[in-house]
Structure 1
Amino acid sequence: MSDPRAASVVILGSGAAGLITAYTLLQDGFTNVTIITRDSTPGGVWADERIYPGLTLSSVHGEFRFSALQMPPARDPNGRLSGSEMRDYMQRFTATYLQDIILYGLEILQVLRSDDQGDLRWTIKVQDVKTGEQKALKFDRVVLCTGGHNRPLVPKELSPSAAKGMSFKGRVFHSSAFHAQIKHLEAGGNNESVFGDVAVIGGGKSAQDTAAYLANKGIKVTIVFETADAFLAVSKPLPDFIRRSRFLSIISPHSTLNSRLERFLHTTSLGSKITHFIWKRMIAGSFAAAGVTDHSPLKNTHDAFWVIRTNDEGVPKPDGFHKLVNAGKIKVVSPARVTSYSSDGLVLNNGEKVRADTVVVATGYTSSWHPIFDETTSANLGLNRHPPDPNILKAENEWNNYVSLQNPPHTHPSHEQWASSIYRGIVPANNLLNKDFAINGAVFTTNNGYAFEVIAHWISSYFLGDKNLKLPSSPEEALAYADRNSAWLRKRYPGALLWANESYSSNLAFWTWPQTVDELLKDMGLATYRSGGNWLTWPFKVIELTEIEHLKEERDVMRKQGQ
């Protein structure tokens, strides 16, 4: 095909990553762009039918949006965004820019590469969620944006069938179905009191949000977890020069230390002491702001420095999870693990029993990729993780000079863990040279709006075949990069690749998303460190989306220069 812009592109998923990818491709002149989603409204996890009651974001106003569309001020005086506000923003973005390109209500059954008379194309098999009708749609290129919060993960021993097998007659549902459960109650003229006593299984954000919502409705709630998500909280909102700058990314080591300040903080004994002193103060300050005492079970959290399971609570609300626990309105049983159901509730590994009429299983999500790719397609693409190459295991020694990473938490040895096969978290290495398949939304960051938008530009340059886009020369070179990055992730976040599902962990650029975004900008030959500042002020310059609102024009200039 002479003009890449004439190629048909399908985007699988209408979440934030899918929407900004479609917008960017259209702005770049692609004339045949389609989004497929099983939802009836746009937004992915922010779709109208998927936001659960009481949902709040870890982001504050201005941190999760796109450069093309402003966001109305947050209703919360501290700038915290609710799920409904994000839903409204995603719907407004779609109505403004993408209204006619989304196919709603189509469940993706299978993604296959097909050969049309020597011309490789993609076949997307879908099923209408209302009628059950199945059909096959064909496209030239695919962008996979199904995300990591699409398919609930329910351990076998916690499933509804396991509950039935133990004669438990109450309700059992995953936290992702909480919205639907509430709507069902309302449709029948009932309220949350019908749930009776509720047990919530899990220590993540959805578990905490669900418990808080029900407790505020006067429901007796017990939450059970082994270890809760880490969290950051403050007694008053952080200034933007701390929260929305490079400060947090600098005190979290990246695989490449590009500044003398970062090298000092992470490769010297004094710098490491300063780094961990700051983190310990933040963690201690968070417990204090949330009113968590030394003997509280809420102290049983992950260490925020070492994990990506960290929630930003901001200024804790009186009706928020931690305050409700402190007030005795939510009972916490921790550390404990649910081993089975009983006829009237749950049995824990410590022998204790929890009585419940309703059980909410908030145990996370599994990969959204495996159900739609068969083994042959996954292998040919190079989509799956693989055991670490024994030779690559030695790559972890590359970061032995990082003093700040000494004394990590105990986990499985590296050879028992996994390695990604996805270059930059965007392109499966095996498929690098075909330039017909990419991923957005699988790089895990704390600033999705900014990161997804830059990734969308990278993908568009990749599909356009821009000469200025720096790529590996071969699939083997791309795989070697992916293996090295996985070695870094095993070093930086011990054990994270054992539990984080592939569809949102192709790269873990959590606090260090600014460095990761700079690498992508550098790939495209574009300016980095866009927030500016001098040798003293650059760590505290606020990062704004205005920095990337003209990336298309910048890329156009680079493309002309590269011709």
Structure 2
Amino acid sequence: MSDPKASSVGILGSGAAGLITAYTLLQDGFKNVTIITRDSSPGGVWSDERVYPGLTLNNVYGEFRFSPQPSMAPKDDSKRLSGFEMRDYMQKFAETYLKGAIRYGLRILGVARPKDTSSGWDVRVEDVRTREHQILKFDKVVLCTGGCSEPYIPEELSLASANSASFKGPIFHSSQFPSRLAKLQAEGKDESTFGDVVIVGGGKSAQDMAAYLANKATKVSVVFETADAFLAVTSPLPDAIRRSRFLSILSPHSSLNSRLERFLHTTSLGSKITHFIWDKIIAGSFNAAGITNDSPLKNTHDAFWGVRINDEGVPRPDGFHMLVKTGKIHVIAPARVASYSYDGESVILNNGGKLKADTVILATGYTSSWHPIFDEQTSIDLGLNRHPPSSSLIKTEKEWNEYVSLSNPPEAHPSSEQWASSIYRGIIPAKNLLKRDFAINGAIFTTNNGYAFEVTAHWISSYFLNDANLKIPSSPEEALAHAERNSAWLRKRYPDMLLWANESYSSNLAFWTWPQTIDELLNDLGLRIYRSGGNWLTWPFKVIELKEIENLKQERDDLRLKMKMERAA
């Protein structure tokens, strides 16, 4: 058998998932690892060209980093790193561990099997400066393009619709906000040039941009039907609450592996306790942010039933919610921008109202980054695309009927309209399982990306190495059954969320339950779980630290050697 470490590995994307995957493969002895990115610097959403003033990390300090490199301390009291601090962290990581392994300025145009063989991959790229095309050949590929690189713009708000209405002002997607600010600076202008700004959307990027503009004395209005839910406190929560398993056990997982979780989610008393705590958390968040019952900011997604949640920590005077409270940001909700007005300087709301707009910023989210680079046949062959669930899969949802905490879900589309994924563990397209030449990192939606990406990278490396200790299904059919069962669970747990999140970061929605999901990956690897320790009483409150996984390579090496010796005995 040829040595897998001699394989050439192409990693598509230089975001956090791509960086830690490349690092892990190199540490494991892979000799030819190359990251491909269209950006001019590493970091993905944290790259130099994508960060902007006011952008903050949506995680408490210490959650989003990698075990080889400590995180810098935040510069303010919010315990939130800024976008620029995250940029610096990613750049330092790349410079320290991945020098020479990243090819910048290459836009990925297509990924496909070579026509003359069923193995390996052709990655067609374009140099963003010269427009020159070339084909890069790899034995294996890891897809790390993420879910925030291909802007989604509704047709009624597109540039074409604006032109047909003779709209006069600039219109751009939130992803272009940094370049627009840079252009103003280069021209010697300031944010007042934008005039009256209307931001469409209620997510975190919309909120961060609105806060930045308001703090620059720009008149800004934000229009949304439903904003992201958020967690806020009057003083920082202790790590034993915010950086432990506390919130994860209050959110049911597809398998309840402890008596405490079974009590909380399968008994009437436990369910009442669970929802009482969540209700108190949300009520406390509204109170901490000074949001009254008549405030439009009350129009938020459900924090228990959804994954559209931001962690604000202690609200800042210059933050979004406080600026709305003091009248420096105008919020129109629930409402939707339906079209551009033919007067050329306004937008029309779905309630018939009109809102003056000199500039429109579309914080309307992103579509899958996979669709532009995989043709239909490759997507089918790999099994990347979602598909309607079969009637048997819809019946599978009854498996969790004993979950009392899920007994009163919000209104949602029928299960038959909420499509299923065929990606095993959120990492391997089931149909491609036995080829061991394609994997995905960064498509599992969690609240602790650093920890999740790093463990996933180890899982992928063991998969590529064909390690005997890695437990995977014996056939694509078995892997497909696992993947579709998980899709059935997601429809049960998060109604309609699969309709909202694009494929690039929703192969698994392990939001608060990321510790349980990571335990499954560690268990696949034959490694220890519940690494934070604690006894029967304290384990939910033990702080989860990156140092728990800093020796995963050595643990895997030791296990590999042990299994080899046992086979030889």
The CA distance in 2 between the partners of 1:249 and 1:468, in whole Å, is: 28
With normalisation by structure 1, the TM-score equals: 0.99
Q: Structure 2: which 5+ residue stretches go unaligned?
A: 565-569
Write out aligned runs for 1:176-325 (5 A): 176-325=175-324
Q: Secondary structure at the match of 2:305?
A: coil
Amino acid in structure 2 at the alignment position of 1:341: Y
Provide the rounded CA distance (Å) in 1 between the counterparts of 2:186 and 2:384.
42
The residue number in structure 2 matching 1:126 is 125
Deviation at 1:392, TM superposition (A): 1.2
Distance 1:119 1:306, change over 3 A: closer
Deviation at 1:85, TM superposition (A): 0.6
What secondary structure sits across from 2:81 in the alignment? strand
Runs of 4+ more than 4 Å apart: none
Kept in 1, the 8 Å contact 2:37–2:106? The answer is yes
CA offsets per residue over residues 500-550 of structure 1, 9 Å max, x none?
100000000000000000000000000000000000000000000000000
Query: Is the 8 Å Cα contact of residues 531 and 548 (structure 2) preserved in structure 1?
Result: yes
Partner SS state of residue 372, structure 1 = coil
Counterpart contact for 2:245–2:515, Cα < 8 Å:
yes
Partner of 1:438: 439
Q: Distance in 1 between matches of 2:401 and 2:182?
A: 53
Q: Partners in 2 of 1:304 and 1:222 — Cα distance?
A: 24
Structure 2 distance, partners of 1:337, 1:85, is: 34
Instruction: Look up the SS of the partner of 1:370 in the other structure.
Output: coil
Deviation at 1:74, TM superposition (A): 1.1
Contact map agreement 1:123 1:137 (CA 8 A) in 2: yes
Distance 1:428 1:38 in 2: 25
Deviation at 1:473, TM superposition (A): 0.7
Q: Deviations over 1:219-254 (max 9, x none)?
A: 111110000000000000000000000000000000
Q: How far apart, in 2, do the equivalents of 1:119 and 1:354 lie?
A: 56
Contact kept, 8 Å, 1:199 with 1:359, in 2: the verdict is yes
Q: How many residues align?
A: 562
CA distance in 1, matches of 2:336, 2:73: 41
Percent of residue pairs bearing the same amino acid type: 72
In structure 2, C-alpha distance between the alignment counterparts of 1:315 and 1:393, rounded to whole Å: 42
- How far apart in 1 are the matches of 2:148 and 2:156? 21
1:483-498 matched pairs, under 5 angstroms: 483-498=484-499
Q: Are 1:388 and 2:389 matched, yes or no?
A: yes
Q: d(CA) in 2 for partners of 1:296 and 1:410?
A: 23
1:318 partner letter:
P
SS in structure 2 opposite 1:231? strand
1:440–1:456 contact (8 Å) kept in structure 2: yes
The aligned counterpart of 1:99 is: 99
Amino acid at match of 2:372: P
Q: Give the alignment of 1:152-551 within 5 angstroms.
A: 152-342=151-341, 343-551=344-552
Alpha-carbon separation, structure 2, partners of 1:287 and 1:467: 50
Measured in 2, the distance between the counterparts of 1:461 and 1:178 equals 40
Structure 1 gaps, min length 5: none
Q: Does 1:42 align with 2:42?
A: yes
Pairwise CA RMSD: 0.8
Could you tell me how far apart the structure 1 residues matched to 2:78 and 2:118 are? Answer: 55
Deviations 1:12-39 (A, max 9, x none): 0000000000000000000000000000
Q: Distance in 2 between matches of 1:120 and 1:481?
A: 25
Amino acid across the alignment from 2:293: D
Distance 2:238 2:32 in 1: 43
Cα drift, residue 115 of structure 1: 5.1
Structure 2 CA distance for aligned equivalents of residues 220 and 94 of structure 1: 39
**Distance across 2 between alignment mates of 1:188 and 1:108:** 31
* Mapped partners of 2:94, 2:11: distance in 1: 14
CA distance in 2, matches of 1:125, 1:115: 13
**Could you tell me how far 1:78 is from its partner in structure 2?**
3.1
8 Å contact kept, 1:231–1:310 = yes
Shift of 1:119: 6.5
C-alpha distance in 1, partners of 2:238/2:482?
Answer: 37
Whichever residue aligns with residue 330 of structure 2, its letter is: K
Secondary structure at 2:399 match in 1: helix
Distance 1:329 1:434 in 2: 56
Tell me if the contact between 2:52 and 2:84 (Cα under 8 Å) persists in the aligned partners: no
Q: What is the DSSP-based 3-state SS (H/G/I as helix, E as strand, rest coil) of the residue aligned with 2:331? A: strand
Aligned counterparts of 1:241 and 1:9: Cα–Cα separation in 2: 40
- Of stretches 401-410 and 432-441 in structure 1, the one that deviates more from structure 2 is 401-410
Quick one: which amino acid aligns to residue 220 of structure 1?
K
Verify the 8 A CA contact 1:115 1:121 in the aligned structure 2. no
Secondary structure, counterpart of 2:467 in structure 1? coil
Q: CA deviation at 1:462?
A: 0.1
1:445 Cα offset (Å): 0.2
Task: Check whether the contact 2:78–2:316 (CA below 8 A) recurs between aligned residues.
Answer: no
Q: Deviations over 1:38-88 (max 9, x none)?
A: 000000000000113210111122110000011121112231111011000
